[in-house]
A and B are shown apart, each in its own frame.
Chain A
Amino acid sequence: MKGKLSFLVLISILFSSCLFEEKDIFDESAAVRKQVAVEEYDKILQSAPNGWVFDYYPHETRPYGGFNYLVKFGQGDTVRAAFEYIRNPEMKQSLYEILYDFGAMLSFNSYNQYLHYYAEGKNSGALYQGRKGDYEFMLMDYNTSEGELKLKGKRTTNYMTMTKLADNVVWDEYLDAVNATEIEWMFADYSLYVDGVEVGTASKSDRNITFFWTEGEEEKKLTQALIYKPDGVIRLYDVVTIAGAAVRNFKYDPSDDTATSTDRGSNVVLKAVVPDDFVLYKDYLGDWTIKDTSGTSYTVTFTEKEKNKSFYMTSEALPELTIEWGWSSSFSGKRLTLYTQHLATTPEGNLVLLMPAYLNDTGGTSFFPSIGSSAAYYTYDGENTITCTGGTTTLITGFILYVRNPANSANVGWYQNPNSFLKTSLTR
């Protein structure tokens, strides 16, 4: 009995005299590790001397598609931003902070007209929740070799990326290129080809694209948000697999209105379906004849200003003036827009304005002087005539050239002849 007892005691000594040491899993405390994560990401954000391209997707269902921001993080918690959607030479500066909340989180925590554009609830019924965008992002991962930072919207849970912008890229030119791509992708409907075989169609509505195709007997349909990138490229929010081909990027070729996937190993082509009555931008280029209100004819010439967006109109009758016309793919490409514009300044400092106008009941001319906002619309019949069809009001029948004093908005008088083009058309 005693032997048993001493044996038990011996065992108890053996087992109890060990060294209790619970190895820490991490070398540093949780608080230190959090701080390290925060500082690490801050270093990464500040490591881009020319900033980042931020592919941003507002709203959890991404109905608006994606938008390009250019952001540069600097000293003193400052962030400067430019924004594809509101083009303004002035960048907006505000503050940012990296916090720790289930991981490192980037917060744009002072107001920035651009960065909070989609997040701000507005005092107008439909937008009382804004556009449900984020301004706080979980920092998920940084790929050093690609210079690509993965983020996740705190509210939307959308995955987004920031990519380092090369040092030689000029911000404005980058955003110009993005805007140009948007204009290039003007058609809504496409035929869909995989490896050269037509499998279905695609339909683009704003910044979402829906693919319809058949796989075997099965009808497939898939919608994905997209973002415009420079050089005619659109990138989808996520990879889509169409009849076995995984694709995310398409590059548009305006020479044959065809977009081809650029992802390795897949060959998907979108061929624009151009509506029968569609009038192309280039169909407007060249000489036209315009009559002034008194019926005298003049030759005018349309040249390219910004492709698929605007034209210059010049005439030997008024060699010192260049008039700008706007074009878009809406209305089947048939509508031209002529905004009130400042064409020249007289030696006395008065403004030569082009204004939409009409002849009123008293025989006088009514006109619309708000530069850049009042407009006359002209419609092309697709054959040989472009006619004024209203504008800011349906009464508008054309435009006049008039001189105004900018100091007091007083009407100085008509510009030299010809100066009135009402109830008239442009003809080939």
Chain B
Amino acid sequence: MRKIIYYLMFFALLSIVSCSEDGPDSESIFVDDTMERTQFDKWLDHYFIAPYNIKWEYRMLDAESDLGYFLVPADYLPSVKFAIAFKHVILEGYDEVWGNTYNTKAYFPKYFYIVGNYAYNNNGTTVLGTAEAGIKISFYGVNNYVFDNIKIDDDYEDAIVRRFKTAHHEFTHSMHQQIPFSDDFRIISLTDYIEDDWNNKTLEDALDNGFITTYARKNANEDFAELYSWYVTYSAAWWEARVAQASDEGKAKINQKLSILRTYMKNNWDLDLDEVRNITLSRISELNSIDLTDIEIK
């Protein structure tokens, strides 16, 4: 009898496990988007995604943006012009510095979010761009960018040259988030970082305290990124004139920090500051002879 019971129990067990087939569906749940693609989308696939794995999101989704602001999408043409200029100066610039595309692909931020207007605050300040975790970079105000007669050292708000500075700046964050810079840098201005109060300070005050811009006073990371990005985007003459305005103490601090930055970039990223600058400047000066609307795939 006991045997029979076990026998029956075995069948009972079998009936549980064998009862129905519930395997995975043969069809993928991921459905290809059937929305139509513009010529610019195809161009981006070819020149941004394939070589660099970079997404240039020019068709803004409000939900992806900062809902605290009333942001609008970028106009098509400025998005195209900006992408072409960005590729020429920044992406291919780093390729030229490193002598390969691999490093740019490996280290450069991956997600660029292109927004039509600037983000305006009710206190009258304007946000030009943001970086999130070294991955997603938003450029605001693209519809205002000026692409005609591009000159090196332009540093007004709508100047396209300022965007290259922003790109270098955000790239710096991406780099130091992967390999931190030494505390020697932090210590130099340790007591002079003032977080959001930077907005109430003058450039003169920043320079005298050893900062290249007012924003560099925010914290050591911003200081580091500002130092690098202004150094490599603007000419040697511009840099010297800027530093010359500082007090002796300010000058000494800037140069001390610059020296640490220089070593960090060379040792960790194989980047020579002067070489990055030379290449950036010569590529900016080439922009006027490039058709910034040509999105034919060659």
Q: Which residues of A contact B (CB under 8 A)?
A: 2, 5-6, 9-10, 12-13, 16-21, 29-32, 34-35, 38-39, 42, 75-77, 94-95, 97-99, 101, 107-111, 116, 119-123, 125, 128-130, 132, 135-136, 154-155
Contacts and interface: CB of A to CB of B under 8 A. Distances in A.
A18 B19 contact: yes
8 contacts: A16-B12, A38-B34, A101-B63, A107-B62, A109-B73, A111-B73, A121-B118, A130-B72
Given A2-B1, A77-B38, A121 B119 contact: yes
A77 B31 contact: no
Interface stretch (B2-10, B131-139, B172-180): B2-10
B126 A13 contact: no
A17 B11 CA distance: 9
Given A30-B29, A120-B117, A136 B38 contact: no
A246 B30 CA distance: 48
B8 to A, nearest CB: 5
A17 B117 contact: no
A322 B59 CA distance: 49
B118 A119 contact: no
A135 B141 CA distance: 17
Contact of A98 (B11, B35, B59): B35
B41 to A, nearest CB: 9
A121 B1 contact: no
Interface in B30-70: 30-31, 33-36, 38, 58-63, 67, 69-70
Interface stretch (B20-28, B211-219, B243-251): B20-28
Nearest to B140: A121
Contacts of B237: none
A129 B70 contact: yes
Contact of B62 (A9, A34, A122, A154): A154
A136 B59 CA distance: 12
B16 interface: yes
Contact of B20 (A20, A98, A136): A20
Given A20-B19, A109-B61, A111-B76, A39 B34 contact: yes
Contact of B22 (A10, A12, A20, A116): A20
B15 interface: yes
A2 B12 CA distance: 18
B191 interface: no
B1 A116 contact: no
A76 B27 contact: no
A348 to B, nearest CB: 35
A108 B74 CA distance: 11
Given A77-B35, A123-B126, A135 B121 contact: no
B192 interface: no
Contacts of B69: 121, 129
B76 A95 contact: yes
Contacts of B116: 111, 116, 120
Interface of B: 1, 4-5, 8-9, 11-13, 15-16, 19-20, 22, 25, 27, 29-31, 33-36, 38, 58-63, 67, 69-76, 79, 116-122, 124, 126, 143
Nearest to B143: A111
Contacts of B59: 95, 97, 107, 109-110
Contacts of A97: 35, 59
Contacts of B38: 76-77, 95
Contacts of A39: 34
B151 to A, nearest CB: 23
Given A19-B20, A121-B69, A29 B25 contact: yes
Nearest to A95: B59
10 tightest A-B CB contacts, nearest first: A17-B15, A121-B70, A111-B75, A128-B120, A109-B59, A130-B70, A116-B72, A35-B31, A31-B29, A120-B72
B62 A136 contact: yes
Contacts of A76: 36, 38
Contacts of B143: 111
Contacts of B34: 35, 38-39
Contact of A6 (B5, B117, B120, B121): B5
Given A16-B16, A97-B59, A108-B73, A128 B36 contact: no
B61 A99 contact: yes
Contacts of A122: 117, 120
A198 B141 CA distance: 54
Given A16-B15, A155-B62, A123 B118 contact: yes
Contact of B71 (A77, A108, A121, A125): A121
Contact of A32 (B31, B62, B70): B31
Contacts of B61: 99, 107, 109, 136
Contacts of A98: 35
Contact of A111 (B5, B15, B72): B72
A13 B70 contact: no
A123 B120 CA distance: 6
Contacts of A154: 62-63
B21 to A, nearest CB: 9
Contacts of A116: 72-73, 116
B73 A135 contact: yes
Contacts of B27: 29, 32
A9 B25 CA distance: 35
A400 to B, nearest CB: 39
B71 to A, nearest CB: 7
Contacts of B121: 128
Contact of A119 (B9, B16, B22, B70): B70
B167 to A, nearest CB: 22
Nearest to A18: B19
Contact of A110 (B35, B75, B117): B75
A17 B62 contact: no
Given A42-B35, A119-B70, 16 more contacts: A6-B1, A9-B5, A10-B8, A12-B12, A16-B12, A19-B20, A20-B20, A34-B31, A38-B34, A95-B59, A99-B61, A111-B72, A119-B72, A121-B71, A121-B117, A128-B121
Given A9-B12, A31-B30, A123-B126, A135 B35 contact: no
Q: Chain A CB within 10 Å — which of B36, B67, B73 has the most?
A: B73
Nearest to B8: A9
B15 A13 contact: yes
B72 A128 contact: no
Contacts of B30: 31
A120 B72 CA distance: 6
Nearest to B157: A123
Contacts of B118: 121, 123
A10 B9 CA distance: 9
